[in-house]
Every structure is written in C-alpha cells, then in structure tokens.
Amino acid sequence: MRKIEYATDKKKWAPSLIPGPLALISTINRAKEPNVAPKSWLQMASFEPPILMFSGSKGNTTEKNLLATGCFAVNLVDSTMAAKAFSCIEWFGLERIEKMGITLSQARKISAPLIDQCPAHLECAIRETHEVGGGFIVYGEIVAASIREDILGAAPADRYRLLDQIVFLEDDLCARVRDPYPARRSAEGPASRKWTRYVISLTRTDKPMTGAAVRRHVAHLKKLDRQGRLELCGPFKDGKGGMAIIRAGSLEEAKAIAESDPFIKEGLETYALREWELSCEENNHMGMG
C-alpha cells in the first residue's frame, strides 16, 4: 500500500500515531495545597532503578510544585474518570479538585496525595528534570505503587479489563485498553486464544415495568462493564426484551450473571442463555486471523 505525506504537528494527527496513557498527576506545594493535572506524555525510562518520565508545558503549577517538594504521584485514569480528566482543564487549583468531585488520600511514601477514584497509583520521587523546546521533562523514581485489590485478585486474563486503562488519542478522543492478546505464537503452531462469550436473550413478561427497576438494571449492566464482563447490550426495537453479550469463565458463571440481573430476579423478564465461542484462528476466513 502506498504511503502519503502526513503532518509532523501532533496536534493535527487524526489518527494519532503515538497514543499515551492518560493519567492525573497530583502534586502539593510548600503550603500543602494539592494540585491535579492531566498528562498523557508518560512512559518508563529505566527498569533499574524504576524510573518513569512525563512531560508538559513549562511554568505550570505541576512543575512548580514538584520542584518545590521533590515528588509527584501518577494516578491512572479508567473509563469512569476519563471525562473528568478531559474537562478538568477548565478550572485551576483547588477549584479543579472540587469541580471534578474527587477525593484525595495520603500516599505511602511521598507528600503528594493520591486520587481515590483512580484504580492504580505510582508514587514518585524526583530524580532530574530537563527543559526541551517548549516542554518540561520530569524523571521520577517509583518508590511505591498501589492497585485496586479486585484487579490483582482477578485471573491474569481479566486484569486489564478490570484496570480499564484509558489512552489519550487526540483532542476529546480516547480509547480503552481492555482486550489483550498474545503477541507471539508457539513453534508448534498458532496458539488459539478463545474469547468465550455468552449471549443472554431477554423476553418481557406481563409484569409491569417500573422506572426504579430500569435504573437497577442499568446499574447492573454498568457494574458488568466496569468488570470487563459486558461486551454489548441493548433492547429490541419492539420493546419486548433485549440482549446482552457477556464474558464468563463457564456456563455456570454466565448463568449466575444472568440471574443477578434485577429484571430476572424481579420477574420482569425471562432469559435464554447460549454459549458463543469465537477465536481469531477459527474466523480466519473473515480476515480476523
């Protein structure tokens, strides 16, 4: 395929050629006033010692605070925090924290706070800083890290979906990191990674539907989505039911998920459950291999 000329200005990229993990950098000044700022130019710089780097514009509050106190925290953003991370630049200082509706807690090894609503945190001590062009680069040694207990307690295949990490693509556009797959295949042949899903078909009963029941049903679906269990869902146009496609480790687990739906528990709908197995190798004829 022929390549064509592309802009060198990252602000004009669509699609972005260098996505970056979206994070909220939290700092504190000498008066112990906290500050939070979104950053996406973030990456590891060294394994030993563990050093990460991020960059931003010169002369901002984040730069002033970390130079004054020698530390900062990286708070990773998930899908529940993405909109707040994008919109928080409308405010500054303590007003930003208030408008975002976030709460802060004490870090383990640094004076900068952690954002409670974020799923994982990296506490960093400043190693060095540099000015490059119009930017300011910070190198920080990771002195402590923490992650939500349910993420680390899940099966390895589920952890990225539970972490639900967001990457910044371009202005007002981001993506979720939720579906990892093996990059290498075994010498014996292609390693088939099956994405087992279950289809839940819902059918309305004669029992009257209530707004409260709908809200409970939506909350149930949102919980499944946060857990990385929900693929697709929606009502049928005729209003007589709907469908949800979920991930589960077994038919029994899928059945338990279906029966935990408030619509099912309250007799508002009945359900039928079918297993749907899909792997890239099995669907190579569709160009998915």
Would you state the pLDDT for residue 25? 98
Cα of 4 vs its chain's centroid, Å: 33
Place of tokens 């106190």: 69
Would you state the pLDDT for residue 183? 76
Q: Which pLDDT tens digits describe the chain residue by residue (289 residues)?
A: 999 999 999 999 999 999 999 999 999 999 999 999 999 999 999 999 999 999 998 889 999 999 999 999 999 999 999 999 999 999 999 999 999 999 999 999 999 999 999 999 999 999 999 999 989 999 999 999 999 999 998 888 788 988 999 999 998 899 999 777 777 755 444 444 455 789 999 999 999 999 999 999 999 998 888 777 888 899 998 888 999 999 888 889 999 999 999 999 999 999 999 988 665 444 444 444 4
Place of tokens 């042949």: 189
Identify the DSSP state of 179.
-
Would you state the pLDDT for residue 185? 59
**Cα–Cα distance, 114 to 37 (Å, whole number):** 12
Q: Which residues of 13-45 are buried (b: 16+ CB within 10 A; e: fewer)?
A: eeebeebebbbbbbbbeeeeebbbbbbbbbeee
H-only helix segments in 113-266: 149-153, 156-163, 211-226, 251-259, 262-265
Q: Which two tokens stand for residue 182?
A: 């093996």
114 CB neighbour count, 10 Å cutoff: 24
Contact assessment for residue 35 and residue 65, using Cβ atoms and an 8 Å cutoff = yes
Q: Which residues of 199-212 are buried (b: 16+ CB within 10 A; e: fewer)?
A: bbbbebeeeeeeee
Of the candidates 50, 115, 112, the one whose C-alpha atom is nearest the C-alpha of residue 88 is: 115
What's the pTM value of the predicted model, to 2 decimals? 0.75
Considering the domain 12-177, what is its CATH architecture?
Roll (2.30)
Residue-range domain boundaries for the chain: 12-177, 194-285
Q: What angle do CA 79, 155, 169 make, to 5 degrees?
A: 25
Which CATH class name applies to 194-285? Answer: alpha beta
Distances 207 to 64, 171, 203, 210, 217 between C-alpha atoms, Å:
61, 46, 12, 10, 15
Q: Which two tokens stand for residue 96?
A: 């930003």
